[in-house]
Amino acid sequence: MRLKPLADQVIVITGASSGIGLLTARVATERGAKVMLIARNGEALANIVRDIRAKGGTADHAVADVGDRDQLRSAGAHAIARFGRIDSWVNNAGVAIYASLMDTPLDEHERLIRTNYFGVVNGAQVGLEHMRNDGGSLITVASIAGDMPSPVMGAYTASKHAVVASIQSLRIELAADNVPVSVTLIKPSGMATPIAEHAANHQAGAPTIPPPVYDPMLVARAILDAAQRPVREITVGGIGRLQVLFASHFPALFERIAPVVGPLLHDRTKAGASVNNLFVPAQDGMERSADEKGMTVSLYNEYGQHRLLAGALAAAAFGVAALAWRFSAHERSG
């Protein structure tokens, strides 16, 4: 399967008014791609597109809620009318809730699933309507949360598990039908985006991004690499990959340790925001969190797709788990 160079592509990005989507759109246009930005905040999108054009890039925008298939289909049609085709479709839109599952209001839980899961379902179907004959790439931003459980962010984690299963199943079906579309899952670790500032919050204090925190440019690069080179899955952030390996191979021990992370997801010295973007757009236009500074380098992503380093990371995870198990056993025997 051959994908076009970035400078020859038309790329559609959902959730493009802030965070990873916005950063990816800006980098893509700097590298010569034509980009259609989709989000709910029309004013923010118009300002972003105006800025991209002022810097010599080619972009347009469409206002749509990814949870509404008709709106998303209209946005896709706008991309075709404006640029003539779609070469890559990036499912990136997402929202978050900070609350225990038992304290998560049902309407909020349902809304999160509508955006995070059905937004991906809708995006995949609309994108494939335009790419399944001529080929292209379908890229979905999931999360390491799709590979392991989490306290406090259980609803978000459940939505990402659903996204991972859906996209993996879709990949099998498209391959069986010889559809020339590359299907990629991007699984970021904690990223220094505005997701915490925009989240619905039912915990004391201001939500924070699950550590460790990386700079979202790493995800933008992974997305644009997948747009040009077929790849099944990319985990962004080596420490996040270690967390997944630990949770997968030592689930009982992980469940004992995981509650320790809960307090790290809130800053009790700060008041939580009074608004969120669950049902309506937030104040958009920011690529990064105002409070968090992410690591700009991930050795795993620089070299970690290399088998030797991936093996070393796995060995490190097993080593940490073994030490934790021995310490736990010593406590019990003592």
Please answer whether residues 286 and 19 qualify as being in contact, where contact means their C-beta atoms are separated by less than 8 angstroms: yes
Amino acid identity at 52 = I
Residues 6+ away with beta carbon under 8 Å from 48? 16, 17, 22, 25, 26, 37, 59, 61, 285
d(CA 157, CA 233): 18
62 by Cβ neighbours in 10 Å (0-12 / 13-18 / 19+) ranks as buried
Task: Establish whether 300 is a catalytic residue.
Answer: no
According to DSSP, residue 203 is labeled: S
d(CA 148, CA 254): 10
228 by Cβ neighbours in 10 Å (0-12 / 13-18 / 19+) ranks as buried
Pairing state between β 200-201 and 97-98:
parallel
Question: Residue 182: which of 241, 220, 233 has the closest Cα?
Answer: 233
Catalytic residue among 98, 117, 156, 300: 156
217: which 2 tokens?
Answer: 């440019």
Residues assigned a catalytic role: 156
